[in-house]
Amino acid sequence: MAREEEQLASRKMRIAASPALLQSGFRPFFLGGAAWAIAALALWLAALLGGLRFFPATTSRAATRPSTM
């Protein structure tokens, strides 16, 4: 039983010594997901308000190609 208590104490010390971002179930993937959500929302709002224009390859070529008829 003493060995299990030592292992538990050792694990608690390692967790306490780790950076705050890696403690309490908060992982870097959650931070990355939040950053991606903010970036995607900003790009979407910019496109919605006309600040960004996205031209698919099929429509931009068809619009600039001269007619052969």
| Predicted confidence band of residue 18 (pLDDT cuts 50, 70, 90) | confident
Inside any domain, residue 69: no
Inside any domain, residue 19: yes
Inside any domain, residue 15: yes
Distance CA 30, CA 34 (A): 6
When the pLDDT of each residue in the chain is averaged and rounded to a whole number, the result is 77
What is the total count of domains within the chain?
1
Only one residue has tokens 């992982």, namely 27
Distance CA 10, CA 15 (A): 9
Q: Indicate the pTM of the whole model.
A: 0.45
Task: Please compute the mean of the pLDDT values over residues 44-58 and round it to a whole number.
Answer: 76
Residues ≥6 apart with Cβ < 8 Å to 30: none
Domain residues for 15? 2-64
| Predicted confidence band of residue 5 (pLDDT cuts 50, 70, 90) | confident
